[in-house]
C-alpha cells in the first residue's frame, strides 16, 4: 500500500461514517491533483463502514495495544496443545473477559454510553472473530462491516482436533455426557452459522441503504444548488428586461 493510500485509509476509517463519502471524494481529488490517478481510484473504491465497524476501527486506531492483546490470546489458544481441562476453561474465560473489556472500551471511546443492543452485539462479535480468524484480525482498523465467525475459533487443544479413530483408541468407552455435549455444540454451531448469515445479510442491506441515502443527499444538494442558480438567473433576466424597458422609454422620449 502506498503512503498516500495508507494515509487516506487511516483518515477515512477513523473519521465518523457520516463524513466518509464527502471526505473520500476530497482525498481522491487530492490524489488526482497530485498525479496519482491509480491511488485516487483505490481511494474511491474504499467502502463506507457501518457504525459498528467504525466503533471497532476507532478503538484499534486510538489504542494500538488492542491488536497485540488479541494476538497474544490467539497465540495462547492455538499453542495450548497439551492443555488440561482447567487450562482450557481458563483460556475460555480469558477470551470472554478480554472481548467484554474491549467492547466496553470501544463503546466508551466512540462516545456511546447507551448503544443499541444490535450495535453492541456486532462490536462483540467482531472482536471475538478477530481472535478466531487471522484474516479478520488483519482487517482491524479498516473494517467496512461487522465480522462474525461461525464456530468457536482457535481451540485450546491444538489447531486441529485429533481424528475420530485416535479418540476411539484413547477412550473406547462412550461417555454419554460427552456425547450430549458434542451434540449440543453441533447445534450451537449450526445456530451460529445461521445467525452469521442473517447478520451478514442485514449488514449488506444496511450498507446498501446507507449508499442510497448518500446518493439521495448528494442529488438533493445538487438540486438545491441548481434551483439557487436558476433563481439568480431569473433575477438577472428581470433586471436586464427592466433596463431594456427603461432604455426604450428614454429613446422614445428623445425622439419626441
Q: pLDDT tens digit string along 202-225?
A: 666 766 676 777 778 778 888 888
What integer pLDDT is reported at residue 224 of this predicted model? 82
What integer pLDDT is reported at residue 150 of this predicted model? 63
What integer pLDDT is reported at residue 170 of this predicted model? 44
Q: Is the pLDDT of residue 57 over 70?
A: yes
| pLDDT, tens digit, 9 for 90 and up, residues 94-138 | 999 999 999 999 999 999 988 899 999 999 999 999 998 989 999
pTM of this structure: 0.58
Q: Which DSSP string do the residues of 77-115 spell out, in sequence order?
A: HHH-TT--HHHHHHHHHHHHHHHHHHHHHHHHHTT-SS-
Kindly state the average pLDDT of the residues 147-161. Answer: 53
60/73 Cα distance (integer angstroms):
16
137/70 Cα distance (integer angstroms):
8
Q: Give the chain's length.
A: 256
What integer pLDDT is reported at residue 237 of this predicted model? 84
The mean pLDDT of the chain is: 81
**66: number of Cβ within 10 Å:** 21
| pLDDT, tens digit, 9 for 90 and up, residues 161-195 | 333 343 444 444 556 666 666 667 667 766 656 66
Quickly tell me which residue has 493510500 as its cell.
5
129/135 Cα distance (integer angstroms):
9
What are the cell numbers at 56? 471497532
- C-alpha count within 13 angstroms, C-beta hemisphere, residue 84: 1
Task: Name the nearest CA neighbour of 148 among 167, 166, 128.
Answer: 128
Amino acid at each position: 500500500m502506498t503512503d498516500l493510500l495508507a494515509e487516506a485509509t487511516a483518515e477515512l476509517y477513523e473519521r465518523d461514517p457520516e463524513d466518509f463519502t464527502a471526505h473520500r471524494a476530497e482525498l481522491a481529488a487530492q490524489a488526482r491533483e497530485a498525479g496519482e490517478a491509480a491511488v485516487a481510484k483505490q481511494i474511491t473504491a474504499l467502502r463506507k463502514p457501518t457504525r459498528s465497524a467504525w466503533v471497532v476501527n476507532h478503538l484499534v486506531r486510538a489504542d494500538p495495544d488492542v491488536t497485540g492483546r488479541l494476538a497474544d490470546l490467539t497465540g495462547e489458544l492455538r499453542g495450548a496443545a497439551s492443555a488440561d481441562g482447567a487450562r482450557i476453561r481458563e483460556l475460555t474465560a480469558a477470551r470472554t473477559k478480554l472481548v467484554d473489556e474491549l467492547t466496553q472500551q470501544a463503546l466508551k471511546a466512540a462516545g456511546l454510553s447507551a448503544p443499541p443492543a444490535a450495535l453492541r452485539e456486532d462490536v462483540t462479535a467482531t472482536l471475538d472473530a478477530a481472535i478466531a480468524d487471522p484474516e479478520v484480525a488483519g482487517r482491524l482498523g479498516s473494517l467496512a462491516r461487522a465480522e462474525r465467525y461461525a464456530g468457536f475459533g482457535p481451540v485450546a487443544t491444538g489447531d486441529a482436533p485429533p481424528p475420530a479413530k485416535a479418540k476411539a483408541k484413547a477412550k473406547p468407552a462412550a461417555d454419554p455426557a460427552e456425547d450430549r455435549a458434542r451434540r449440543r455444540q453441533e447445534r450451537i454451531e449450526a445456530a451460529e452459522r445461521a445467525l452469521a448469515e442473517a447478520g451478514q445479510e442485514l449488514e449488506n442491506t444496511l450498507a446498501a441503504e446507507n449508499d442510497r441515502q448518500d446518493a439521495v443527499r448528494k442529488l438533493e444538494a445538487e438540486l438545491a444548488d441548481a434551483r439557487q442558480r436558476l433563481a439568480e438567473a431569473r433575477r438577472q433576466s428581470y433586471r436586464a428586461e427592466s433596463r431594456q424597458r427603461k432604455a426604450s422609454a428614454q429613446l422614445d422620449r428623445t425622439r419626441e
